[in-house]
Structure 1
Amino acid sequence: MAMITITSAIPDIHEKRGRYYTAETYLLPSDDAEKARLNGQHEAVKPFSDGLIPAGLVLKAGDAVLDAGTGSGIWLLDIANRVAEGVSFTGMDIEGRLFPKPLPNMKFLVGSTFDLPHDLDSTFTLVHQRLMVAAFSVDGWRKAISGFYRVLKPGGYIKLEEIDFLCILPGPVAVPPLTSKFCEGSKVLCAKRDVGADTLLNITALLEEAGFEMVDETRRAIHLGGQVNHARDAFIGAWRSMKGPFVQSRVIDGAHTDMEYDDFLDQIEQEWRTTDFARTWCNWTARKP
């Protein structure tokens, strides 16, 4: 396939407090610090992802894989080392700052998953996306999933991974108070950006609505306590990286300045370290008939 560069529906880059934020609806920045955090996060969450490739799928020469919202491309780089030669890989994101140097069988496209080009119709054997629950409205999810269905071959698989960012799912232990305060502020901020608090609960229905057959849906508890915890480091790093949007929106009482927000996140990190709090990681696998 020829390289495709998509320019429609890509917002301007915004600089806030020395961090680069690509889209108003996406809370995380796009810069070198975020690239390093994403790479570490990939290793931390991999044990909870039910494998990089769906259990019923064996990728072979001629197959193609799409990673939507690829970020630093770390998921693609990892999977490329685990499959047969002759598989091709495409990563897509609205921001190209984080893209790595591609392997010979790999390409990265700047573009929106809401506007997948028709040149890609019925191209991919596997489509993967993760951690967009706080970025897409329900209508956005519907549009993205419909596009994923279109670009998959018949019999192809979709694998989605999300975290319970807004603390709406019942967990193994109660949400501690400071974390709960952050989650409530996050709900307000997401609502301002047309991201509903119940989006996580709708993904299965949206997959089925698009025509997918559900294969598997799992939830895994990621415990964040203890002195050394790489998942905690990745997740608290994500929340720290959201300082620009949170301080600007003033949705958390007592965290209206940079210093107040940093102090609040220090307290949350200590809360996670000293309690048995766990965040819920969700996996969906579905198949196009």
Structure 2
Amino acid sequence: MIVKLFGNRLFLAPFKLETGSRVLESAAGTENNAGIWALEFFEEHRKNDIILNMDCIDISDRQFPRDHPSNMHFFVSSVTDLPAEWIGRFSFVHQRLLVSALNDTLWRQAISELFRVLVPGGWLELVEAEGKDVHYGIGPNSTRLQSIFLQVYENKGHSGDLTALLSLVEKTGFVDIQSEIRPSRIGPSGENGYSSGEIGNFFRGLKRDVIEDGGGIYGVTEEEYESLVQESELEWNMTPDKAHVFYRTIVARKP
């Protein structure tokens, strides 16, 4: 879906790789990725007779693909603490959808690590969903759900502000920074982004964070939260494509 939003392009960075170039994909084993981007990126270059060396990391190997080319290596590692020997190793680093996994402190560590492992002249590409400028609320239930979502983010130390991420990339020392934003719209079919059910399941995934203290700070019980999600799905279905979430791609070069 993200690739479709950005004109069916797997990447936006203006580099040219050659056989033997090293590429890192961070967060390669997330539920919405499972190595798919890395496999497609490798294959796109292989069709042009360019055989890459790719390292793909995640904090869990649960979603790693079982079958992959021998030049691709999947292993457990954190982007906030990459191997010490990876100094100036990669020509391109790609990462997406970690905005809800890293708080502001961890983001500073992650961007610093990605800068360290890039070769001079190497490119970084980040793809993230906006966590602050959100537009889930189009009715009373989805508006309340959006308010809870923003409170959860704040209480976990996430600003969700991708403009702050842009600033962090610049402060770390990157240059030639570019950014593109695309809306992913929410409706019953998901043809213009996400289906209402997919977004509903995203919010169900936050249930543990919401009710871990009995729901006190958010004012809902587990049953009330599930009802809120279901009613929000109905609102998104009744008014297709009005609710949406922004995706931002950030591209930057290490000088």
TM-score (norm 2): 0.84
What is the aligned partner in structure 2 of residue 57 from structure 1?
Answer: 15
- Residues 213/74 of structure 1: CA separation in 2 closer, same or farther (3 Å cut): same
> Following the alignment from structure 2 to structure 1, what is the Cα–Cα distance between the partners of residues 28 and 127?
12
Aligned to 1:224: 186
Q: Distance in 2 between matches of 1:119 and 1:163?
A: 31
Partner of residue 246, structure 1: 210
Tell me if structure 2 keeps the 8 A contact 1:161–1:283: yes
Give the C-alpha shift of residue 238 in structure 1. 2.3
- Tell me the matched-pair count: 240
Residue segments in structure 2 that go unaligned for 5+ positions in a row = none
Task: Tell me by how many angstroms 1:64 deviates.
Answer: 1.4
Worse-matched range after superposition: 230-239 or 110-119? 230-239
Question: Of 114, 123, 144, which residue of structure 1 is paired with 2:89?
Answer: 123
Q: After superposition, what is the alpha-carbon deviation per residue over 1:108-148, rounded to whole angstroms, capped at 9, x for unaligned? A: 12121111112211111111111111222222111100100
1:65 Cα deviation (Å)?
Answer: 1.4
**Which residue number in structure 1 is paired with residue 142 of structure 2?**
179
The CA deviation at 1:218 is 1.2
Residue of structure 2 equivalent to 1:191: 154
The structure 1 residue matched to 2:168, chosen from 188, 196, 206, is 206
Query: Against the structure 1 CA distance between its residues 261 and 78, is the aligned structure 2 distance closer, same or farther, given a 3 Å change threshold?
Result: farther
* Residue 164 of structure 1: how far off its partner (Å): 1.9
- CA–CA distance in structure 1, aligned partners of residues 13 and 158 of structure 2: 31
Task: For residue 94 of structure 2, give the secondary structure of its aligned residue in structure 1.
Answer: strand
Q: Contact 1:211–1:288 (CA<8 Å) still a contact in 2?
A: yes
Aligned residues of 2:137 and 2:143 also touching (Cα < 8 A): no
Whole-Å separation in 2 of the counterparts to 1:246 and 1:79: 37
Equivalent residues of 2:184, 2:244 under 8 A apart: yes
Answer yes or no: is the 8 Å Cα contact 1:208–1:214 preserved in 2: no
Unaligned runs of 5+ in 1: 1-43
Partner of 1:89: 54
Task: Output the CA distance in 2 between the equivalents of 1:147 and 1:226.
Answer: 40
**Does 2:201 match 1:237?**
yes
**Contact conserved, 2:137 with 2:145, CA < 8 A, in 1?**
no
| Amino acid in the other structure paired with 2:165 | I
Deviation readout 1:167-195 (Å, 9 max, x if unpaired): x26x6x97544333223212322233222
Alignment of 1:45 onto 2:2: yes
Query: Secondary structure of the residue that 2:85 maps to in structure 1?
Result: helix
- Distance verdict in 2 for CA 1:228–1:190, change over 3 Å: closer
Letter in 1 for 2:39: L
1:283 equivalent in alignment to 2:249 = yes
Aligned identity (percent) is 27
Deviations 1:31-50 (CA, angstroms, capped at 9, x unpaired): xxxxxxxxxxxxx2221246
Q: TM-score, normalised by structure 1?
A: 0.75
Q: Secondary structure at the match of 1:224?
A: strand
In structure 2, relative to structure 1, the CA distance for the partners of 1:268 and 1:214 (3 Å cut) is farther
Are 1:150 and 2:116 matched, yes or no? yes
- Paired residue type of 1:153: V
Matches within 5 A, 1:11-90: 44-49=1-6, 51-71=9-29, 72-84=34-46, 85-90=50-55
Q: Secondary structure at the match of 1:141?
A: helix
Secondary structure of the structure 2 residue equivalent to 1:282: strand
Q: Is the 8 A contact 2:145 2:229 kept in 1?
A: no
